[in-house]
């Protein structure tokens, strides 16, 4: 898939709360094709302490409106400056990067998408893709508190949405892997993105229940397109770059202690 470096225009910066923003980007030209799971390397121009680009998942693509969405959580100066951008500003992206999720073999497959915190970002695009192609999805989305649950209305367009919060402020109290849905049903396909301990717990559940399971990793990166070998994860095939061989990996390939 051809990669581009483009200046996109901020159509809207939707401030979700003091920690998260949704950047809606557009371009005067037609956006290139992108796949769920892929990410962009974003240049942050107005932050003197941000030297390298920042990897950010493709949250959603609306080809008709020619829109690309990025969901950003503020963790440091790079993400803070991205969240301060205003409509009309430009943002330089290198994209689309990385691989994609695997399509389930049959349309009646029972599919579970589990997201934690800002890790829900790639799952919205993936959910929209699955829905468009006639699959039914269940989303279990978790966060520390209700402020960390994002885009719930968007997710509801693409499947059944269940939530958990650690403080019980929304949905079931506890971690995503403790949700009653996981006890009540079995799934054929599980896709997950979020903090590593959460993904490991989901991977353990998938292994126990013999489900096919893919996780999306967030290793720190310098380039994002296979040039530096900084982003590796240990796999059954040795060290592989998360930016080119991933970010999506089948759990059977990862050398995780779960």
Partner 1 sequence: MANLNINIGKLQLKNPVMTASGTFGYGPEFSDFFDVSRIGGIFVKGTTLRDRQGNAYPRMAETPSGMLNAVGLQNKGVDYFINHILPTVKDIDTNIIVNVSGSTINDYIETAEKLNSIEKIPAIELNISCPNVKEGGMAFGTSCLSAAQVVKEVRRAYQKELIVKLSPNVTDISEIALAVEAEGADSVSLINTLLGMAIDSEKRKPVLSTITGGLSGPAVKPIALRMVWQVANSVKIPVIGMGGIMNAADAIEFLLAGASAIQIGTANFIDPTVAIKVLDGINEYLDRHGFQSVTEIIGALEV
Ligand X SMILES: Cc1cc2nc3c(=O)[nH]c(=O)nc-3n(C[C@H](O)[C@H](O)[C@H](O)COP(=O)(O)OP(=O)(O)OC[C@H]3O[C@@H](n4cnc5c(N)ncnc54)[C@H](O)[C@@H]3O)c2cc1C
Query: Which residues here bind ligand FES, judged by CB under 6 A?
Result: 221-224, 226-231, 241, 243
Instruction: For residue 33, give the DSSP letter.
Output: P
**Considering the rule CB under 8 A, would residue 257 count as an interface residue with partner 1?**
no
Question: What count of Cα atoms within 13 Å lies in the side-chain half-sphere of residue 174?
Answer: 11
**Cβ closest to ligand X, residue 123 vs residue 202:** 123
CB of 230 to ligand FMN, least distance (A): 6
- The Cβ of residue 96 has, within 10 Å, a number of other Cβ atoms equal to 22
- Return the range that interacts with partner 1 (CB under 8 A); candidates 2-10, 14-22, 117-125, 249-257: 2-10
CB of 224 to partner 1, least distance (A): 8
Provide the strand spans (E) within 109-241.
111-116, 137-143, 159-165, 172-173, 189-193, 212-216, 232-235, 238-241
Question: At 136, is the secondary structure helix, strand, or coil?
Answer: coil
Given candidates 121, 149, 199, 223, which one binds ligand X under the rule CB under 6 A? 121
**Considering the rule CB under 8 A, would residue 80 count as an interface residue with partner 1?**
no
Can the peptide bond before residue 247 be classed as cis, meaning omega within 30 degrees of 0? yes
**Considering the rule CB under 6 A, would residue 75 count as an interface residue with ligand FMN?**
no
Given candidates 228, 234, 236, 255, which one binds ligand FMN under the rule CB under 6 A? 228
Compute CA distances 129 → 69, 102, 117, whole Å: 15, 11, 21
Question: What count of Cα atoms within 13 Å lies in the side-chain half-sphere of residue 30?
Answer: 5
What is the rounded CA–CA span in Å between residue 81 and residue 124?
Answer: 24
Given candidates 34, 36, 54, 115, which one binds ligand X under the rule CB under 6 A? 54
Given candidates 28, 49, 106, 208, which one binds partner 1 under the rule CB under 8 A? 49
CB of 219 to ligand FES, least distance (A): 8
**Considering the rule CB under 6 A, would residue 118 count as an interface residue with ligand X?**
yes
Comparing CA positions, the residue from 183, 170, 178, 193 lying closest to residue 249 is: 193
Which residues make up the interface to ligand X (CB under 6 A)? 39, 50, 54-57, 71-73, 75-79, 118, 121, 218-221, 247
Which residues make up the interface to partner 1 (CB under 8 A)? 2-5, 43, 49-53, 94, 219-234, 238-239
């Amino acid at each position: 898939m051809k990669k581009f470096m483009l200046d996109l225009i901020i159509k809207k910066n939707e401030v979700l709360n003091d920690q998260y923003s949704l950047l809606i980007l557009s371009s005067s030209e037609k956006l290139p094709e992108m796949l769920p799971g892929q990410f962009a390397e974003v240049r942050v121009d107005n932050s003197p302490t941000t030297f390298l680009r920042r990897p950010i998942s493709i949250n959603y693509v609306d080809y008709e409106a020619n829109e690309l969405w990025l969901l950003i959580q503020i963790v440091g100066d790079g993400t803070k400056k991205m969240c301060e951008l205003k409509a009309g500003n430009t943002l330089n992206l290198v994209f689309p990067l990385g691989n994609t999720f695997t399509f389930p073999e049959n349309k009646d497959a029972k599919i579970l998408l589990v997201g934690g915190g800002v890790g829900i970002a790639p799952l919205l695009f993936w959910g929209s893709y699955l829905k468009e192609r006639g699959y039914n999805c269940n989303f279990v989305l978790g966060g520390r508190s209700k402020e960390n649950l994002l885009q719930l209305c968007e997710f509801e367009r693409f499947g059944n949405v269940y939530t958990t919060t650690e403080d019980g402020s929304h949905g079931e109290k506890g971690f995503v892997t403790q949700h009653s849905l996981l006890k009540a049903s079995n799934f054929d396909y599980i896709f997950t993105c979020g903090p590593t301990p959460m993904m490991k717990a989901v991977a353990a559940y998938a292994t126990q229940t013999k489900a096919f399971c893919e996780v999306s990793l967030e290793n720190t990166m310098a380039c994002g397109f296979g040039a530096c070998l900084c982003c590796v994860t240990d796999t059954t095939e040795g060290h592989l770059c998360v930016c080119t061989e991933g970010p999506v990996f089948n759990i059977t390939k990862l050398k995780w202690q779960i």
